[in-house]
A and B are shown apart, each in its own frame.
Chain A
Amino acid sequence: MVDLVTVSEAQIWAWLEGVPDPEIPVISVVDLGVIRAVDVGSSDDVKITITPTYSGCPAMSIIALDIRTALAKRGIENLTLETKIAPPWTTDWLSAKGRAQLEDYGIAPPRAAGGPAHCPQCKSRQVEKISRFGSTPCKAQWRCTSCLEPFDYFKCI
């Protein structure tokens, strides 16, 4: 049988870097850590394994659709998307680049200590929690007591 592979897994990963998270568009789905595997088969059939951040995250169906759309534009027609919940997603899978992009955007990145290191706006360490939950399942609300700005904190799980 003739080997028909014309696309590499590295190429697919690079294309996925261009797919933004629908709720926090400054980071890509790759930097969010939801892409767990990319496998290219013997006839350019591509299988992508994704994992949900939170079990009820409504963005997951949009992410799947955005991945399909982005790869279809690159000519990938035979695409299988598989959802795997194990091992469960953790904020440890956010890339260093993703963390920096969150901070630049005004969202404090997650920390094992359980709260933001400093205000993403003015960098003051004088911050306090408003609520354990925020505008999306992955965020909590905090406030800076120096510049008085409220800000989102990416929950650490």
Chain B
Amino acid sequence: MTPLFEFLLRQGDNALVLGHRTSEWCGVAPALEEDIALANTALDLIGQTQLWLGYAAEVEGAGRSANDLAYLRDVYDFRNVLMLEVPNADFGRTLMRQFLFDAFQVPWLTALQGSDDQQVADIAAKSLKEAQYHLDRSSETVIMLGDGTDESHARMKAALDYLFPYAGEMFADDAIDTAIRESGVAPLPSTVRTQWNETLRRVMNEAYLTIPDTTFNHSGGRTGFRHTEYLGHMLATMQTLQRSYPGATW
């Protein structure tokens, strides 16, 4: 696998896994407006997945399509960060995760707009508009719930404490990131950490939430080395149709 293919899988799998997780709320969210908001967010993410995995398939040149990559790969072929595959739990954790990811996506996609690879730059520019809108909403909701009732505050605190040790993986540079930087496709993910930290501090401050004092990071998702036990269960649901009826189309 070339570094570019790996890079595109990381981009596409982040969008796909979070998109699928978010879609699990469809029909069961706490309020109709939130249900619609979550479904639309999921739809944006699945649209972005088609662009990233479509390009990944083209770069791979093995005759696979975006759908093949989404529906016919197994757990250890996925390259998403672990934070995005853990279960939704409650609405608070779902929105906290969305915020932690959006706060990364906005500076990251902004940087990718300057990629030497024109397709990467184009996909980033398209996705960025959606990511900005998502960040507006997720920050607003995190603040509202953090600065809400005792119950909502306690849930948001629990969500942040649970998710924070997963967030560092988004910035964990490795050899693939170095190769990608050398080819001019993207900067190192660690370069957007300062901006992420600033957004995090500002929003947590307004939400009356304390950023956990830990430097421990879960890892293994973006390399495919060690996914959580949850991803296999998620894929079982997400891929069942293509696994049971290979090649089925609308």
A residues near B (Cβ < 8 Å) are 52, 54-58, 85-88, 90, 130-135, 137, 141, 155, 157
Contact = CB atoms under 8 A, between A and B. Distances in A.
Given A52-B126, A56-B50, A86-B122, 15 more contacts: A52-B47, A54-B44, A55-B48, A55-B51, A55-B130, A56-B43, A85-B122, A87-B125, A90-B129, A130-B33, A132-B140, A133-B37, A134-B36, A141-B33, A155-B133
Interface string B113-134: 0000000011101110110010
A133 B33 contact: yes
Given A131-B36, A132-B133, A133-B40, A56 B46 contact: yes
A88 B44 contact: no
Label chain B's interface by main secondary structure.
helix
A55 B37 contact: no
A31 to B, nearest CB: 20
A157 B47 CA distance: 16
Interface residues of B, number: 26
A151 to B, nearest CB: 14
Contacts of A135: 36
Contacts of A133: 33, 36-37, 40-41, 137
B45 interface: yes
A132 B136 contact: yes
A157 B50 contact: no
B130 A54 contact: yes
B123 A137 contact: no
B116 to A, nearest CB: 15
Interface in B44-62: 44-48, 50-51
B77 interface: no
Nearest to A130: B33
A57 B133 contact: no
Interface of B: 33-34, 36-37, 40-41, 43-48, 50-51, 121-123, 125-127, 129-130, 133, 136-137, 140
A131 B39 CA distance: 13
A85 B133 contact: no
Nearest to B121: A86
Contact of B44 (A56, A90, A130): A56
Contact of A137 (B34, B40, B48, B140): B40
A15 B40 CA distance: 31
Contacts of A134: 36, 40
A141 B36 CA distance: 10
Give the residue among B33, B45, B46, B140 with the most A Cβ atoms within 10 A.
Answer: B33
A131 B127 contact: no
Contacts of A141: 33, 36
Contact of B43 (A88, A130, A132, A137): A137
Contacts of B125: 85-88
A131 B141 CA distance: 11
